[in-house]
A and B are shown apart, each in its own frame.
Chain A
């Protein structure tokens, strides 16, 4: 299985700042990479697919980049409601696998 490694595992930031979360795949996954946001007790929300395409309805403060093995999720103009755990997921190879998550505290 492809291993997905996220860093950092947690981070703290202030309102208005910008943060970047990194995801690394154990092998080349081209651009078959998605990002999700998960808040306690709520359904995970898809943010980005194809490494950089914004899911419908997701604000442009979220952006993704990368290809191959290295990817980033950037969140700008942080607000308290952005506090959540963020996951990356590869869907290049079977079975799909997820990163361990990055907990963001605002």
Chain B
């Protein structure tokens, strides 16, 4: 069974870049016609889709975050990553990675990583 695990710093300073990595196990990130996504959830709030990336490196982002988001994929390591620039306290959230069945059905999720933006 596919498993996803988020990793990265739990604390990021305001105006800096938030960087997270999702490691996929139980299957190759390159196999099948899957996309790979990031989703976040601020405390006490709803889920917000951030973006998705295909094994080719082609990515789509939520227009609300597009100017600050970059995703990348490393098939040799079975990982994909998220970079979110110029963070503020509003970016404090639990960040989830997920596998995507086209177009946007998230069938497997990671447990999530809490990232706090604070000085």
- CB of A18 closer than 8 Å to a CB of B: no
Render B41-71 as a binary contact track against A, CB cut-off 8 A, 1 for contact: 0000011110000000000101110000000
Which of A41, A96, A100 is B111 in contact with, Cβ under 8 Å?
A41
Q: What's the nearest-Cβ distance from chain B to residue A35, in Å?
A: 11
Which bucket holds chain A's interface residue count? 20 to 34
Contact partners of A34 in chain B: CB under 8 A:
105-106
Q: Please give, as numbers and ranges, the residues of chain B lying within 8 Å of A42 by CB-CB distance.
A: 111
Interface size class of B (residues with CB under 8 A): 20 to 34
Provide the A28-48 mask, 1 if CB < 8 A to any CB of B, else 0: 000000101000011111100
Binding site secondary structure of chain B: strand
A90 to B86, CA, bound (A): 29
List which B101-119 residues lie within 8 A (CB) of chain A. Answer: 101, 103-112
Report whether B109 and A44 are in contact in the complex, using a CB–CB cutoff of 8 Å: yes
Contact for B49 among A36, A97, A100, CB less than 8 A: A97
Distance from B99 Cβ to chain A, minimum over Cβ atoms (Å): 10
Q: A46-B109, A97-B49, A101-B46 provided; 14 other pairs, C-beta below 8 A?
A: A42-B111, A43-B110, A43-B112, A44-B98, A44-B106, A44-B109, A46-B105, A46-B107, A87-B46, A89-B47, A91-B103, A91-B105, A96-B49, A96-B104
What are 25 A-B pairs with beta-carbon distances under 8 A? A34-B106, A36-B106, A41-B111, A42-B111, A43-B96, A43-B108, A43-B109, A43-B110, A44-B96, A46-B108, A46-B109, A49-B101, A49-B107, A55-B107, A91-B103, A91-B104, A91-B105, A94-B60, A94-B103, A95-B64, A96-B104, A98-B47, A98-B48, A99-B46, A101-B46
